[in-house]
Structure 1
Amino acid sequence: MSTEDAAAQAVSEPRQPRRRRWRRILAWTSVGVVVLLVASLGTAYAYYRTLRANMVQHDLETALNEEERPPKIGDDLNILFIGSDKRTGDNAKYGGRDFVGERSDALMLAHISPDQGVTVVNFPRDSLVQLPACEPYQGTDGTEGYYGMINAALFHGGPPCAVKAIESLTDIRIDHFAHLSFVGFRDMVTAIGGVQMCIPQPMEDERSHLDLDAGVQVLDGEEALAFVRARYEIGNGGDIGRIDRQQMFLGALADKATSSDVLTSPSKMSGLLDAISRNTQTDDELTLDRMISIGSTLSDVELSDITFYTVPWWPAPSDPNRVVWDQEKAERLFTAINNDESPEAAALETAPSTPSTTPSAPSSPSYPAEPSTEPVATTASPSAGNVIEGRDATSNPCVNGLGAGTESEQRLP
């Protein structure tokens, strides 16, 4: 072996162990990355399974008679949101403990359309309507059909009865429902770090524990819940003014929930999903997977594409503390939604009607016993009824002059 060859061998030999050592390091690093990835996926999947296990779901297909339901029209999606006033468990702190059963403190139909954006219709809880017959369901007694308050449907037959009532009154097929408690709403707002609102004037309501100063401020979960529940000491004390405030808040909530501040925060997103899964009941087809799919579909929706309406109404002739629907205008609103059309366009296409007197109530009203210590609202204003109201989610009471608790001025004849 030449001197050059020996030198070359002497130089090359120490390098072979180093190469083998680096290969081992790379191999173990790769294994470690794979293990961490699998562990992360396993943790995520376990968390996902936990979220799904937390949700209470109802079989609408079994609970409702398909032959009595409206047909499905088009590819749009109709979701009924039911805000419950149940006063047991963690919800007991928000009302009297002698409150029996639960009724819908808020009823909202969200129509999600590929062409028209999102249309949300609020049904006043003080509405007197023809309720359908409902079978007993999970501890409820069921009911025969009768003329009474719309919020009693949940009391008589649980979420399926509430769905049946809205379908029978609107002829709109409900694809899904979400039933949310006071605590669930509070925890959702808390999870995303509160919601910024502009309060035009100081607001106090002892029953809902609301005490807010005027001005721009971030409402935490407790304050937000008090804001959307308050009515007795604000405005005329009626449900219509409260709906107005709820619509304003939901617009601000949508803005915050879709902001990068929430979407890029793992802690806020996990907190939001946990609050939803623990406190929301749905139909068995509105799974967490389905929710995520709907959320993905709505990712490109602008706030200006979300419009809120309240069913047109009149003060009830039989009781000034209740309301009845303006059937002609309500039918135009429901028909527009069913046909996936703009409610504004539908309103303009049909000449308005202005009856000289408020409509009479259906014959033979009867009211089954509904145990409650809840006081009635104060007298409603008749001027609010003869309109189809619309507000997009960007409405700001400090900018457009709509004081929290007043009624929207964006109206159609």
Structure 2
Amino acid sequence: MQHDERDERGEQNPHGRGSGTRAAMRASHRAKSVRRRRRWLAAVGVVAALLVVGMVATYLRLNGNIDRLDVSKMVGKDRPTPSGDVARGPLNILLIGSDVREGEGNESYGNGDWEPGQHSDTNILMHISGDRKSVTMVSIPRDSMVPAPVDCNGDAPEDQWRVHQWNQNFNTGGPGCVIRTLEGNTDIFINHFAVVDFSGFKGMVDALGGVPVCTPFAIDDPKAKFTLSAGRHTLDGEQALGYVRTRKSLGDGSDIQRIKRQQAFLSSVAQQATDTKLLLRPDKLLRFLGAATSSLQMDPDFGLGPMKDIAESIKGIGVDKIQFVTVPTEVYPKDLNRVQWAPEAQELWESIRSDRELGAPTPTPSPTSTEPLTVSPDAVRVQVVNSSGVVGLAKQAVAGLRVQGFAEVTSSNGDAVVKGATVEYSGDRAEAARTVAAAFPGATVKKSEAALGTLIRVTLGTGSPDVVEVPNRLGSEPLPKPTLSSTPSSSGSIQARKASDDICS
């Protein structure tokens, strides 16, 4: 029986010749295509595997560059309550510039004989808002005289702290002592810290391709080993380090003036990183990260992973939403070469604590309690202590209490500026304290360790409320209208510089 042979189109082939050859050719072609496809997929797989291995190796190398330091024992146990983390809520990161003159890249800046030891000449608190829409960089003057734990004992109660120069904290106890001192004076929780030395700073500047600066004056500073003519310049890492370290040879030679130059420089860094599209250039980004991590000291929880997450969360923030602020200061009476934090500093710390824009109004506090009061005002002796930095605030409160029938009301001034209102009592005078606290909505009521007897003590700090009517007040005379605010006016002393400002401004 004759086979019914068909051609390649499926039609009958009456000759029955050549069809086997064509079928073989088609099979061979399909086999070659499959082999080519397999080779291509294999090649793609190898490349992908190499990329993954390379990324992992790079991550491990960069992460391994970072020097880890556990400061948990140094910061003590009575820390402020954390307000956020990497995933959500506001973040506070302490950035420290160390003047250590040991190690590769740091030896050529002298031995620091004029000021022995390692110091934190640059101290910046970076506050990232909870909504990830703004960043505030707060510079803390190195010459600030503030209470600090003696010998950096993290467990020492704050009433045993002694006033000394801020720069000594790092010298005595490293970043842990700086954090403990900052948290104790501001009640702001520090989530992470990072310390960078001279070498790391230079490397990061070079990785950016240099950073533009603008100086109205020629600079010649032998101690910083730096000279520069007036005008605009693009500085490499070595030059940039000299520029930000210069102090004695410019202006009044103060640390405050140096901070202003550092803030202008950091503004330029932010602009440069944006203009060069650092995050979109893997080559530049790797050089930058390599330089940064090679000279970084951080807490154990602040690695490249969290850093990447933070960077991702704020990548939409423009330079116009990054601002630089210096802690307001005034002359320290015991040493005119030093400064102390001015009352206006409390306004700054309060804005960080409450994660609100600097200058925004403080929310009205809610009433302390709604339970009926059991002690009449005329059965209560009150002392009002003014610890707000606002002259006359205690006397204003005294007038508001006397109108309501409080028996004996006196006033005095506190030794330091604090925040909020506190009502203290001793013994069994808790109910009398509640009557007083009703006049100060939102006040904290606590039992005092001191023997106050029948006296109820009210301490008014920044952000404390005005006196209001208590439910069981005596008399009907209206309360005097407040003329003073418990939040000191900044009077222009808190000045913010945006990262988008011209570097010559």
TM-score normalised according to structure 2 size: 0.67
The residue that corresponds to 2:98 in the other structure is: 84
Tell me which residue corresponds to 2:57.
Answer: 46
**In 1: Cα distance, 2:275 partner to 2:208 partner:** 10
Is contact 1:80-1:110 (8 Å) kept? yes
Counterpart contact for 1:314–1:385, Cα < 8 Å: no
Unaligned regions of 5+ residues in structure 1, if any?
A: 138-143, 356-360, 363-383, 403-413
* Contact 1:124–1:239 (Cα < 8 Å) also in 2: yes
CA contact (8 A) 1:119 1:307 kept: yes
Does the 8 Å CA contact 1:313/1:386 hold for their aligned counterparts? no
Work out whether residues 83 and 91 of structure 2, in 8 Å CA contact, stay in contact via their aligned partners in 1.
no
Q: Residue 55 of structure 1 corresponds to which residue in structure 2? A: 66
Indicate conservation of the 8 Å contact 1:312/1:385, yes or no: no
For 1:344, what is the secondary structure of its paired residue?
coil
Structure 2 residue 295 is the aligned partner of structure 1 residue 279: yes
Show the 5 A alignment for 1:168-183: 168-183=184-199
AA in 2 matched with 1:388:
I
Q: Return the offset for 1:353.
A: 5.7
Identity %: 34
Going by fraction, where is helix more abundant, 1 or 2? 1
CA separation of 1:258 and 1:354: change in aligned 2, threshold 3 A? farther
Equivalent-residue separation in structure 2 for 1:354 and 1:256 (angstroms): 45
The one-character-per-residue Cα deviations of 1:257-286 (angstroms, maximum 9, x if unpaired) are: 234542222221111111121111111111
Contact 1:186–1:221 at 8 Å: present in 2 too?
yes
Measure the CA separation in 1 of the matches of 2:48 and 2:62.
Answer: 21
- Give a deviation string over 1:351-395, Cα, whole Å, max 9, x none: 99699xxxxx99xxxxxxxxxxxxxxxxxxxxx997112111112
Contact 1:60 1:284 in 2 (8 A): no
Q: Which has the larger radius of gyration?
A: 2
Equivalent AA in structure 2 for residue 92 of structure 1? E
| 1:132–1:168 contact (8 Å) kept in structure 2 | no
TM-score (norm 1): 0.81
Pairing partner for 1:294 from 297, 302, 310: 310
For residues 62-120 of structure 1, the C-alpha deviation after alignment (integer angstroms, 9 at most, x for no partner) is 43322x21112352000011111111123121232646431111111011003461111
1:110 partnered with 2:126: yes
Q: Distance between the aligned counterparts of 1:88 and 1:33, measured in 2?
A: 47
**Within 2, Cα distance between the matches of 1:215 and 1:95?**
28
Alignment RMSD, CA only? 2.7
2: distance between equivalents of 1:148 and 1:62?
Answer: 22
2:496 corresponds to 1:390? yes
Q: CA deviation at 1:12?
A: 3.1
Q: Is the 8 A contact 2:211 2:269 kept in 1?
A: yes
Residues 248 and 264 of structure 1: CA distance in aligned 2, closer, same or farther (over 3 Å) = same
CA contact (8 A) 2:192 2:299 kept: yes
Task: Pick closer, same or farther for the CA change 1:80–1:320 going to 2, 3 Å.
Answer: same
**2:353 aligned residue:** 338
Q: Secondary structure at the match of 1:5?
A: coil
Partners of 2:229 and 2:355 in 1: CA distance: 41
The alpha carbon displacement at 1:333 in A equals: 0.9
SS in structure 1 at match of 2:331: strand
Counterpart selection for 1:123 from 116, 135, 140: 140
Higher relative contact order (CA 8 A, sep 6+): 1
Question: 1:198-253: CA deviations, max 9, x gaps?
Answer: 33343332221222233333211111111111111111111011000111111111
Cα pair 1:134 1:145 within 8 Å, conserved? no
Q: Deviations over 1:94-153 (max 9, x none)?
A: 23264643111111101100346111111100111111235579xxxxxx8432110110
Query: Which piece of structure 1 moves more, 289-298 or 201-210?
Result: 201-210
Query: 1:120 & 1:56 partners in 2: Cα distance?
Result: 24
Is 1:256–2:272 an aligned residue pair?
yes
Q: What whole-Å deviation, never above 9, does each CA across 1:311-359 have from its counterpart, x for those lacking one? A: 1111222222211111x21111101110011222359x9x99699xxxx
Question: In 2, Cα distance between the equivalents of 1:346 and 1:224?
Answer: 39
Count of equivalent residues: 364
Greater Cα offset, 278-287 or 8-17 = 8-17
CA distance in 2, matches of 1:234, 1:259: 30
Measured in 1, the distance between the counterparts of 2:116 and 2:15 equals 99
The amino acid of 1:302's aligned partner reads: G
- Taking a change above 3 Å as real, the CA distance of residues 38 and 183 of structure 1, as seen in their structure-2 partners, is same
Shift of 1:167: 0.8
Residue pair 2:129, 2:135 contacting (<8 A) in 1 also: yes
In structure 1, distance between residues paired with 2:125 and 2:303: 18
Residue 184 of structure 1 deviates from its aligned partner by: 0.8
Letter in 2 for 1:76: P
| Alpha-carbon offset, residue 23 of structure 1 | 1.2
- Does the residue aligned with 1:300 lie in a helix, a strand or coil? coil
- Deviation at 1:177? 0.6
1:299 shift after superposition: 0.3
State the distance in 1 between where 2:316 and 2:389 align: 35
Q: Paired residue for 1:189?
A: 205
Stretches of structure 2 lacking an aligned partner (at least 5 in a row) = 4-12, 155-159, 365-387, 393-414, 417-489
